[in-house]
Amino acid sequence: MTHHPCFKPERIFIVEYQDEIIGTAAAWIEPERDPGVGYLHMVGILPEHRGHHLGALLTVEAIRYTRHEGFAVQRLLTDDHREAAIRLYLDLGYYPLLTHESHAERWRALGEKLNRREAVSRARNLL
């Protein structure tokens, strides 16, 4: 990651507890792929420290930094099984971008399972 052209230490956010790094997130950009778009990247909290809203705090800080750099749009990539993270992202206003024929049904099912039908209904079809 430190060798990526967009790397800046100030784009990396961490949470420490008792001198141990227990969480991280990054405000990332991919100007060659998506000019004008910021990315939320590498959000992670050690399992024993989850459930204290640290992921939300890191995510909001990464969004704030990306906006400070002038990016009005921020995206992220994640996997279906990261349900707690997806719930958080939907609650923060992220919405699905449907880029594969399987996405509509997968997101519908996730919206039902996570009780976030309305948030998922904001999905945009990019096919």
Q: What is the DSSP string of 39-87?
A: EEEEEEE-GGGTTSSHHHHHHHHHHHHHHHTT--EEEE---TT-HHHHH
The mean pLDDT of the chain is 94
pLDDT, tens only, 102-124: 999 999 999 999 999 999 999 99
Q: Are 75 and 99 in contact (CB under 8 A)?
A: no
Cα separation, 104 vs 98, in Å, equals 7
pTM of the prediction? 0.88
Cα separation, 86 vs 21, in Å, equals 23
Predicted confidence at residue 1, as pLDDT, reads 83
Residue 32 has pLDDT above 90, yes or no: no
Predicted confidence at residue 68, as pLDDT, reads 93
Give me the CATH code for the 1-77 domain, please.
3.40.630.30
Q: Are 97 and 126 in contact (CB under 8 A)?
A: yes
Domain ranges of the chain: 1-77, 78-127
Tokens of 6: 């967009």
Predicted confidence at residue 60, as pLDDT, reads 95
The sign of the torsion formed by the CA atoms of 74, 80, 82, 86 equals positive
